[in-house]
């Protein structure tokens, strides 16, 4: 698939699934993204992205065990598929290639701390 088949939000959701596996479910993903970005992320937005990613074949899901914290309801757990892993590696290669091509001092210096 082409790089354009994966939007920026889908990319970070897919990365979060990889980070959180085997406990990657929508609420945990939203919390991870909020922690990493400092921005509010709704579970609805995460649900929509997960549905798109599953339709594209980048993630698969299954129902987990019932938990007391959810009143006996089960969580839908997601994991990255081979196609999703391939896409993440492709995205990383493109980003790294672009970063490597930036000439020294072509970006203004900033203090990240």
pLDDT per residue as tens digits for the range 98-111: 999 998 788 888 88
pLDDT (0 to 100) of residue 59: 98
- 26-58, pLDDT tens digit by residue? 999 999 999 999 999 999 999 999 999 999 999
Q: Let me know if residue 93 belongs to a domain.
A: yes
Domains: count for the chain: 1
Q: Let me know if residue 104 belongs to a domain.
A: no
Of all helices (H) and strands (E), which one includes residue 79?
strand 74-80
Q: Looking at residues 87-94, what average pLDDT do you find?
A: 95
Q: What are the tokens at 61?
A: 């899901």
Range of the domain at 42: 3-99
Q: Let me know if residue 110 belongs to a domain.
A: no
Q: Given a cut of 80, is residue 70 above it in pLDDT?
A: no
Q: What are the tokens at 69?
A: 């914290």
Strands 74-80 vs 59-66: parallel, antiparallel or unpaired: antiparallel
User: Residue 25 belongs to a domain with what CATH number?
Assistant: 1.10.10.10
Give the residue from 12, 31, 3, 20 showing the smallest Cα distance to 79: 20
> How far is it, in rounded angstroms, from Cα 101 to Cα 113?
24
Kindly tell me the sign of the dihedral angle through the C-alpha atoms of 7, 53, 95, 113: positive
Split at pLDDT 50, 70, 90, the class of 3 is very low
Q: Let me know if residue 106 belongs to a domain.
A: no
Please give the model's pTM, rounded to 2 decimal places: 0.85
Split at pLDDT 50, 70, 90, the class of 113 is low
Q: State the alpha helices, DSSP H only, in the chain.
A: 8-20, 26-37, 43-56, 82-101
Q: Let me know if residue 18 belongs to a domain.
A: yes
Q: Let me know if residue 27 belongs to a domain.
A: yes
């Amino acid at each position: 698939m082409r790089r354009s088949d994966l939007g920026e939000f889908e990319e970070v959701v897919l990365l979060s699934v990889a980070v959180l596996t085997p406990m990657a479910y929508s609420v945990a993903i939203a919390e991870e993204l909020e922690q990493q970005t400092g921005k509010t992320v709704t579970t609805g937005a995460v649900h929509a992205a997960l549905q798109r990613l599953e339709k594209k074949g980048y993630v698969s899901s299954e129902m987990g065990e019932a938990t007391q914290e959810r009143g006996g309801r089960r969580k839908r757990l997601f994991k990255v598929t081979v196609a999703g892993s391939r896409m993440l590696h492709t995205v990383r290669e493109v980003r790294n290639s672009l970063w490597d091509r930036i000439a020294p001092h072509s970006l203004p210096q900033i203090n990240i701390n």
